[in-house]
Amino acid sequence: MSARDEARASGLARIRVALGVTEDDAYRQAAVAERLERHPRGTIPARARKAPEECVALLTDMLTKQGADVSRVATKQDAVGAIASYLGSSGLPPRLRMGADPVLAALPWRDAWDIERRFGRAEPTDKASLSRALVAAAETGTLFLVSGADNPTTLNFLPEAHMVLINASDILGSYEEAWDRLRAVYGEATLPRTVNMISGPSRTADIEQTLVRGAHGPRRLHVLILG
């Protein structure tokens, strides 16, 4: 057993002692298994029950209110042009860090020949990154980004500016629909190790109620909605 596994087992053991339960509690195991099997759904608010284009509009509004920049692009060529324009207007060098996502790789990068693309996990020196969100929940303006070689999690947190591409057809109303979509893509009980839910650039007002950007992640978030 690795040190991490030992620490996890020790922590869970302390929790069980505090709750007064045992590891082989059949009732609790059955309750957990049933919940995982049924995927009980929470209450879906009225604002999440919208037509596709209304979901796009709601997501755009929510993200904008939370400090993100949002662009609607009609074609893949427009998406590449918007990426290049954003880098230039933000005073960032024409360099991007990205993963091995096949959708991003298929963009017409020849139309932005001056953008240098670097691949793999983000490095502390990277200024801008590009990821793809598989799905989004319009009700709170939240993007769902999964971990893995296609879109390494470090892209979401290390660079100063984070750009995210999402297809308009992948913008759904509620969290329940978003999780249903992820399960449909990956299968039951085989979700990626991490699902990061992002609703805007990093910011905090913990110290003297002064708003600070980039405290725990990118100072800028630019969302590109394709379609």
Give the CATH architecture of domain 46-226: 3-Layer(aba) Sandwich (3.40)
Task: Quote the pLDDT of residue 220.
Answer: 92
CA 28 to chain centre: 32
Q: Which two tokens stand for residue 91?
A: 């005073």
Q: What is the DSSP string of 189-217?
A: T---S-EEEE-SS-EE-TTTT--EESSSS
In the chain, domain spans = 3-38, 46-226
Determine the Cα–Cα distance for residues 78 and 217; give it in Å rounded to an integer: 27
pLDDT band at 211 (very low <50, low <70, confident <90, very high): very low
How remote is the C-alpha of 159 from its chain's centroid? 15
pTM confidence score = 0.82
Confidence of residue 108 (pLDDT cuts 50, 70, 90): very high
Question: Which runs of consecutive H residues, i.e. helices, occur in the chain?
Answer: 3-19, 26-38, 52-65, 76-89, 102-105, 175-186
What is the average pLDDT across 204-224? 64
200-203 long-range contacts (CB < 8 A, ≥24 apart) are: 200/63, 200/66, 200/67, 200/68, 200/141, 201/66, 201/67, 201/68, 201/162, 202/157, 203/67
The pLDDT of residue 208 is above 60: no
Q: What is the pLDDT of residue 169?
A: 97
User: What is the rounded CA–CA span in Å between residue 152 and residue 168?
Assistant: 22
Report the alpha-carbon distance of residue 202 to residue 160 in Å, rounded: 10
Query: How confident is the model over 116-157, as pLDDT tens digits?
Result: 999 999 999 999 999 999 999 999 999 999 999 999 999 999
Per-residue model confidence as pLDDT tens digits over 40-75: 777 888 888 999 999 999 999 999 999 999 999 999
Query: Residue range 196-224: average pLDDT?
Result: 68
pLDDT of residue 88: 94
**What does the pLDDT look like over 4-36, one tens digit per residue?**
888 888 898 888 888 888 777 787 777 777 777
Q: Distance (Å, rounded) from C-alpha 10 to C-alpha 33?
A: 22
User: Can you give the pLDDT at residue 212?
Assistant: 45
Identity of the residue numbered 210: T
Contact 115, 87 (CB under 8 A): yes
Look at residue 206 and tell me whether its pLDDT is greater than 70. Answer: no
Specify the pLDDT at position 53: 96
Predicted pLDDT at 6:
87
pLDDT tens digit string along 161-179?
A: 999 999 999 999 999 999 9
Spell out the residues 6+ positions from residue 111 whose beta carbon is closer than 8 angstroms to its own.
77, 80, 81
